[in-house]
Amino acid sequence: MNIDGVNTGIVLDHIKAGKSMMIYELLGLDKLNCCVAIIQNAKSEKYGLKDIIKIDGDIDINLDVLGYVDNNITVNIVKNGDLTRKVHLELPETLTNVIKCSNPRCITSTEQGIVHKFYLADREHKIYRCCYCDSEYKRR
């Protein structure tokens, strides 16, 4: 299979196989007016299988979302057909409006319009806790 390169835009590489659609939804890529290509289950020497997302447009991207979903993703910034920057991600210290607290007693469950904010409680186990009620977020 051959997918054209990106002239000016972003290539998200080394996405854990099967996670590209989650990223597509969390970043709102369906709302873009540019070409977006999703490649699933591509062969990878390093990971076995991987997903890739190519965005042929100059957009701002939420690196916290990407770091949360899979901190092994490589973000490649392309300008005029040339790779201009490569970003390696880490788990973000805080997440705002990326995940939602499931505690029914949390203020975010009872009050409208409050931002959902989480902090990284345990980097090794990738555990996030709600800033308001301290409930642990259960990853999907």
What number is the average pLDDT over the span 106-110?
A: 93
Our CA angle for 51, 123, 54, nearest 5°, is 20
Q: Model-level pTM?
A: 0.82
pLDDT-derived band of residue 130, with 50, 70 and 90 as boundaries? very high
Domain ranges in the chain with CATH number 3.30.70.140: 9-88
113's tokens: 């319009």
What number is the average pLDDT over the span 73-96?
A: 93
The string of DSSP letters for 79-138 reads ETTEEEEEEE----SEEESSS----TTSHHHHSTT---EEEEEETTTTEEEETTT-PBP-
pLDDT tens for each residue of 37-70: 999 999 988 889 999 999 998 888 889 999 998 8
The string of DSSP letters for 40-69 reads EEEEETTTEEEEEEEEES-----HHHHHHH
Three-state DSSP state, 15: strand
Q: Which fold has domain 9-88?
A: Alpha-Beta Plaits (3.30.70)
Mean pLDDT of the chain: 91
pLDDT at 74: 94
pLDDT at 112: 87
